Chain A
């Protein structure tokens, strides 16, 4: 008779694991860095994508941010978490890129996940909370993207990191190199602007 073996679930990757991987990557262990990329690629990509509103640009920026982070890994002391540090690199790179790209606004608006159409919150929002009952999801997305692109880079970044990525004010402050008060005021101002621009869809 076999004894029952209780299998302990594997602990979720925490900051300690990240640090161990970073130490290995600092000794030029690319397998360790590959693991770090896999952990944070989606978040970094999403942030850059929402800032640039273009998949190709987001792809380039994400790759370059991770390559830059690898080359600068020797300077990483572990004062902040690895993901805050990578985010900071990606954010600065994206803001610099957007300043150069000022006159070339592109948007790819057909990347909406199919699941969005079945999300009850969104369906309710569109069918009940807007005066335009015939408004399609794609139309609302288009208006939202246009409104987001009207915000300054710093305000847009604050909204993306908080309302889309779900980061705390403190984390955003560490990433954007500013204090929590500045983050709050940027969020407040950005939401006020978005409310004004999307007023028709909020009644």
Chain B
């Protein structure tokens, strides 16, 4: 007998030691009853998705095939989906957004602040909606009245 073959036989014999390991006495008399009792109690019952996952876990090859199919479908979906430029149109304008830059103030002269929306600056560098156009005119009028005082009399 070759030395390597001898070694293999010895390894097999040592592994065979494991055959002598046994559960506690009487264990196998009780086990089927426990299993059947749990089955009759309805344990392990599962819905459609769970039974689908169970079937996949019994055959991992099916799970891999399913995963590949999903990945393939997603890739094809991304490849054939319309491009963002085409979706936005030929003018190249970006879709409307509440954060879009508002038109210049001159173009909106006839509109009230309420019509302009909250994002429109009101001429004082503030977007505070409390500052109405009436309030603004009051400030402007105040500017007109605020004439600097001179302590030197003009001769």
**A residues whose Cβ falls under 8 Å from a Cβ of B:** 30, 33-34, 37-38, 41-42, 45, 49-50, 55, 58-59, 62-64, 66-68, 70-72, 75, 85, 88-89, 92-93, 96, 111-113, 115-116, 119, 121-122, 125, 129, 137, 140-141, 144, 148, 159-160, 163-164, 177, 191, 194-195, 198, 201-202
Distance (Å) between the CB of A33 and the closest chain B CB?
A: 7
Contact B17 A140 (CB under 8 A): yes
Contact among B8, B31, B45, B54 with A41 in the assembled complex (CB-CB below 8 Å): B31
B94 within 8 A of A: no
Q: Are the CB atoms of B23 and A201 closer together than 8 Å?
A: no
In the assembled complex, the Cα of A42 lies from the Cα of B45 at a distance in Å of 25
**Number of B residues with CB within 8 Å of any CB on chain A:** 40
Q: CA–CA, A41 to B31, complex, Å? A: 8
Given contacts A68-B44, A93-B57, A116-B17, 5 further A-B contacts (CB under 8 A): A55-B24, A68-B54, A121-B13, A125-B14, A129-B10
How long is the Cα–Cα vector from A129 to B14 in the complex, in angstroms? 11
A-binding residues in B (CB < 8 A)? 7-8, 10-24, 27-28, 31-36, 38-40, 43-46, 51, 54-55, 57-61
Question: Do the beta carbons of A71 and B44 come within 8 Å of each other?
Answer: yes
A63-B34, A71-B44 known; A49-B13 Cβ under 8 A: no
Complex Cα–Cα for A112 and B24 (A): 10
Report how far A151 CA is from B39 CA in the complex, Å: 34
Dominant secondary structure at the A interface: helix
Which 7 A/B pairs are nearest by Cβ-Cβ distance?
Answer: A116-B20, A113-B20, A67-B44, A37-B32, A163-B15, A113-B22, A71-B44
19 A-B residue pairs with Cβ-Cβ distance under 8 Å, sorted by A, are A33-B36, A37-B36, A41-B28, A50-B21, A55-B24, A59-B27, A63-B38, A70-B44, A71-B44, A71-B54, A72-B58, A113-B21, A121-B13, A122-B17, A140-B14, A159-B15, A163-B12, A164-B16, A177-B61
B40 touches A30 (CB 8 A): yes
Q: B14 near A71 (CB under 8 angstroms)?
A: no
Asked if B10 and A125 sit within 8 Å, CB to CB, the answer is yes
Chain A residues positioned under 8 Å from B40 (CB to CB): 30
Let me know if A177 and B59 touch, CB within 8 A.
yes
CB-based contact A34/B36 at 8 Å: yes
Q: How far is the CB of A146 from chain B (nearest CB, A)?
A: 12
CB atoms of A63 and B35 under 8 A apart: yes
The residues of B that contact A71 with a CB separation of less than 8 Å are: 44-46, 51, 54
State in angstroms the CA–CA spacing of A3 and B60 once bound together: 60
Which residues does chain B contribute within 8 Å of A177, judged by CB atoms? 59-61
Say whether, besides A49-B21, A96-B57, A66 and B35 are in contact (CB < 8 Å).
yes
Task: List, in ascending order, chain B residues with CB within 8 A of A64's CB.
Answer: 44
